[in-house]
Structure 1
């Protein structure tokens, strides 16, 4: 099922059926997941950081291409907030270009220094930011499109903590390049709402955590289905690296450390927040430990099903929302009484 009359910059750029991006998920966005999204008519990105060895990333890209049946896919590159010795981000971009990948999703910091590599290779750049002010900056350095992922999102909502509705409306006033909206998005009606506010599409992550093709333990997916929009917790704001994650023993511990010790550092928290804990949870299904990114779209996570069926449901929901809007057009405009 498609929405053929909803043609946006996102559907045209990626050649997809509906304007939905399945954002890169650390440790989870592999060839199986990304190609399932591609075949379902949406766009997704392999997370390069999940494959730190160049040969492994190259192999995953090639595997994904073989599974996509000619549909578009990309690679997510999460750049560290600041340069560290030995950082190999430029090498990752060169590998992506060498493999002929046409699309990247960047995040973490300003991509300006890498734009020459990407543009010389003809790569389309979607840059992910937590609020509109960063989108304006990204626009100024030449990215093609921005994804603005607000306070309701799983993962990193940034320090401003601006909500999705405000991001969507202000972006229309301040940007000239196409933009997507994310953060708490998991229902087809929200796609229509975002488009009506000026967005060219939406970004979803949490909604797809129960996709059949996602390589995570059945118990992990069962916990996602049990959880509600009330079952997330914000941590790490004190170290300027805010994260929204599934509330569990780890988030409770980290929150207490931040409350009890205002001078806590990222190094102090590292034994609890290491990504390896999250990776273990995906493999074992033990969700009691680890920083497991999850947002308010847990409200819409209800059953494990193939990616294509999730996309069909989103499309049906979007069509229903459009029908409601169509019905409203028959209502006479409101006029104040004299």
Structure 2
């Protein structure tokens, strides 16, 4: 195994690093309420790019302040803003306002998720903002390519959060994307080891998206009890819920997912109203504060199998690159 200290100055160039100006082709995507200035700045200093989440800020001033704080803490290194959109627009959404703030604040990179960013592309491209759009399947990636995004992330069935309805794994997504896309793409879902980065790049991806792998990082501002629960969990401790409302979500298996599963079996046509008392976002916010993971939709993917200790983001990135180098050298050593 290559000693880590021998590789400290190494960087790896792909279309991802070229687009974002980073050292390594690793993207730390938005983590709901957890991707704040401290976490995103830690990603920037580690040589990767992180995206602070924007939707939970209740007013314009607080969002602007967090963007400014992120810029200051990142010390000139690249960062982005995640803008999550519901599958269908609602009158209560503030997406246009958030987009306008991002433009006004001079943010260079945006990660969009949910529905197509097409209505906002003229605004974003007019401000020379690079757009990374995250999708749960190849057909959505092809649509995003058609509307002019700079890059797409395709998340597989293994991912935490919302993996989409098709149950296609990351290794299949990676190979098919190489055949069907002309813009650079990242692979996400179950990624937590450097050998997977090597595999994704060898299959045509320009980089990888990591979420779950960073959830227990020391810079994550959540209760230590929450992090301890993640460290104790394995790749076998997640489950998929919300089948009945076609918004599949992978989370830790807990009391809430048990109740939700029973409700969905008993009343599959009842809609989201019967589930909201158990899946509301405020319950997850409380989990982050109290550390009690027995209730709520505690988003996490199968990469939990790689989450074994709470360390700084930079330490995890160094380990991933060491593992990547080992995998690359193993591949190069094969005889023909």
Tell me how far apart the structure 2 counterparts of residues 282 and 85 of structure 1 sit (CA, whole Å). Answer: 28
User: Structure 2, unaligned stretches of length 5 or more?
Assistant: 1-7
Report the secondary structure of 2:133's partner residue: strand
Q: Which residue of 2 aligns with 1:215?
A: 221
Tell me how far apart the structure 2 counterparts of residues 121 and 253 of structure 1 sit (CA, whole Å). Answer: 46
Structure-2 change in CA distance of 1:9 and 1:217 (3 Å): same
Q: Which residue of 2 aligns with 1:127?
A: 133
Map 1:149-228 to 2 at 5 A: 149-228=155-234
Q: Which residue of 1 aligns with 2:295?
A: 289
The alpha carbon displacement at 1:245 in A equals: 0.2
Structure-2 change in CA distance of 1:129 and 1:2 (3 Å): farther
State the TM-score, normalizing by the size of structure 1. Answer: 0.96
Q: Which residue of 2 aligns with 1:87?
A: 93
Report the secondary structure of 1:77's partner residue: strand
Tell me how far apart the structure 1 counterparts of residues 290 and 236 of structure 2 sit (CA, whole Å). Answer: 24
Map 1:1-338 to 2 at 5 A: 1=8, 3-4=10-11, 6-328=12-334, 331-332=335-336
Tell me how far apart the structure 2 counterparts of residues 252 and 55 of structure 1 sit (CA, whole Å). Answer: 39
Tell me how far apart the structure 1 counterparts of residues 87 and 266 of structure 2 sit (CA, whole Å). Answer: 26
Tell me how far apart the structure 1 counterparts of residues 242 and 67 of structure 2 sit (CA, whole Å). Answer: 33
Report the secondary structure of 2:52's partner residue: strand
Report the secondary structure of 2:50's partner residue: strand
Tell me how far apart the structure 2 counterparts of residues 2 and 313 of structure 1 sit (CA, whole Å). Answer: 14
Equivalent pairs counted in the alignment come to: 329
Tell me how far apart the structure 2 counterparts of residues 68 and 140 of structure 1 sit (CA, whole Å). Answer: 33
Q: Which moves more between the two structures, 253-262 or 163-172?
A: 253-262
Deviations 1:23-44 (A, max 9, x none): 1001100001000000011111
Report the secondary structure of 1:283's partner residue: helix
User: Structure 1, unaligned stretches of length 5 or more?
Assistant: 333-338
Tell me how far apart the structure 1 counterparts of residues 190 and 268 of structure 2 sit (CA, whole Å). Answer: 29
Deviations 1:56-99 (A, max 9, x none): 11000000000001100000000111111142211110100100
Tell me how far apart the structure 1 counterparts of residues 162 and 294 of structure 2 sit (CA, whole Å). Answer: 20
The alpha carbon displacement at 1:3 in A equals: 4.2
Report the secondary structure of 1:136's partner residue: helix
Report the secondary structure of 1:50's partner residue: coil
Tell me how far apart the structure 1 counterparts of residues 273 and 44 of structure 2 sit (CA, whole Å). Answer: 38
